[in-house]
């Protein structure tokens, strides 16, 4: 094979048989004319998209039934490599019979998977994934033309990995949820960086606005900052007064109930009594008054307004705030 031979075999081994067949014998190459569209009772849509990185370009033709928004026919012309032809042909096939809204949901991953011979073996080498991305992008251009909107309106997230269509938000969320520490782990979880690798770091196949190495570093820094903030909040909460003062009334009520459940209620129930919180109010003089009603044996106990009351108030002050007063009703 001379210069076309790779170590361990032919370069063609990296391409599925479907891709090779479509390179040489595309099934949907051609154009749809205005006359043909009218004969089908459809609206003709023509969209173009070009990839600056390699010079490839594709033109997509749709014949759309305006009553149902269904793409009754789809054709393409491709100006580029064999992979671009195969990807564009597959893209046109996937569009046919779908509504415009359904077609917009077709991703480059769908195109690449449709070209596989084996579900577990990629149809093209990593550096050729951008061809299927081009097919994805021209669909958006066609849909935008049909709907009279900007193609960017179909993309509401920042895409970091064009090959796998992985967004910035997804990558950051996965790093945080799984405590990822390496780019390899990000790739294992999201497939970002698994194909052309341009998004991993500068100097790859294409220049990117975001790189995994930078996203990982910044997200880890955010995680560390959040961790330190949580520790600081915990210390403030343990200190009591400041944290309790800043809570909403609902939050204060929940805090009081939690302390009573954990430290007081069991003691009262051992003697056949109990209590319920009737109300909680902030006063003009800076106190939080907790109104309680004794139940069971506690309701007639002599110490309910003295020793028991002081004990309850002391626990709440220790655990939450010195500015708490407990008032029995």
pLDDT digits (tens, 9 = 90+) for 289-323: 999 998 888 787 777 778 888 889 999 999 888 99
- Lowest-confidence segment of 10-14, 210-214, 260-264, 312-316 by average pLDDT: 10-14
**Is 310 in the same domain as 264?**
yes
The CATH number covering residue 256 comes to: 3.30.300.130
Identify whether the C-beta of residue 115 lies closer than 8 Å to the C-beta of residue 19.
Answer: yes
Among candidate residues 54, 163, 196, 298, the one labeled active-site is 54
Among candidate residues 81, 95, 131, 301, the one labeled active-site is 131
Residue 98: which residues within 8 A CB-CB, separation 6 or more? 70, 71, 106
Final residue of a structural domain among 199, 214, 238: 238
- Lowest-confidence segment of 16-20, 78-82, 140-144 by average pLDDT: 78-82
Closest CA to 88 of 112, 61, 58: 58
Query: Rounded mean pLDDT of 176-197?
Result: 87
Distance (Å, rounded) from C-alpha 94 to C-alpha 101? Answer: 13
Range of the structural domain that residue 300 is part of: 244-328
Answer whether residue 138 shows pLDDT above 70. yes
Dmax (CA) for the chain in angstroms is 103
Q: Could you confirm whether 54 is annotated as catalytic?
A: yes
- Lowest-confidence segment of 235-244, 261-270, 296-305 by average pLDDT: 235-244
**Is 26 in the same domain as 120?**
yes
Q: Could you confirm whether 131 is annotated as catalytic?
A: yes
> Other CB atoms closer than 10 Å to residue 320's CB: what's the count?
23
Answer whether residue 241 shows pLDDT above 90. no
Answer whether residue 99 shows pLDDT above 90. yes
pTM of the model: 0.52
**Is 280 in the same domain as 224?**
no
Question: Where are any strands of DSSP class E within the chain?
Answer: 5-6, 9-10, 43-50, 57-65, 70-79, 159-161, 166-167, 273-282, 288-296, 324-328
**Is 107 in the same domain as 176?**
no
User: Based on the structure, what is the number of domains in the chain?
Assistant: 3
């Amino acid at each position: 094979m001379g210069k076309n031979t790779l170590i361990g075999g032919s370069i063609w081994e990296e391409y599925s048989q479907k891709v090779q067949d479509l390179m040489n014998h595309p099934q949907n190459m051609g154009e749809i004319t205005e006359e043909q569209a009218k004969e089908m009772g459809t609206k003709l849509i023509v969209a173009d998209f070009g990839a600056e990185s390699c010079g490839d370009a594709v033109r997509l033709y749709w014949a759309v039934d305006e009553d149902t928004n269904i793409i009754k026919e789809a054709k393409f012309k491709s100006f580029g490599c064999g992979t671009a032809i195969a990807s564009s042909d597959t893209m046109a096939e996937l569009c046919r019979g779908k509504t415009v809204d359904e077609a917009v949901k077709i991703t480059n991953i769908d195109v690449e998977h449709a070209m596989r011979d084996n579900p577990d073996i990629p149809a093209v080498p990593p550096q050729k994934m951008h061809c299927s991305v081009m097919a994805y992008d021209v669909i958006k251009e066609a849909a935008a033309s049909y709907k009279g909107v900007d193609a960017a309106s179909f993309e509401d997230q920042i895409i970091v990995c064009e090959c796998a269509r992985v967004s910035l938000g997804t990558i950051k969320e996965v790093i945080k949820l799984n405590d990822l520490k390496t780019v390899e782990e990000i790739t294992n979880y999201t497939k970002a960086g698994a194909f052309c690798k341009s998004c991993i770091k500068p100097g790859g196949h294409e220049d990117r606005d975001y790189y995994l190495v930078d996203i990982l570093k910044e997200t880890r820094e955010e995680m560390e900052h959040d961790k330190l903030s949580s520790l600081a909040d915990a210390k403030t909460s343990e200190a009591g007064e400041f944290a309790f003062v800043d809570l909403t009334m609902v939050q204060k009520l929940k805090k009081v109930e939690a302390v009573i459940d954990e430290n007081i209620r069991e003691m009262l129930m051992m003697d056949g009594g109990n209590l319920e919180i009737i109300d909680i109010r902030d006063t003009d003089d800076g106190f939080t008054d907790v109104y309680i009603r004794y139940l069971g044996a506690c309701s007639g106990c002599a110490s309910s307004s003295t020793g028991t009351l002081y004990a309850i108030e002391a626990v709440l002050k220790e655990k939450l705030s010195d500015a708490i007063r407990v008032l029995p009703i």
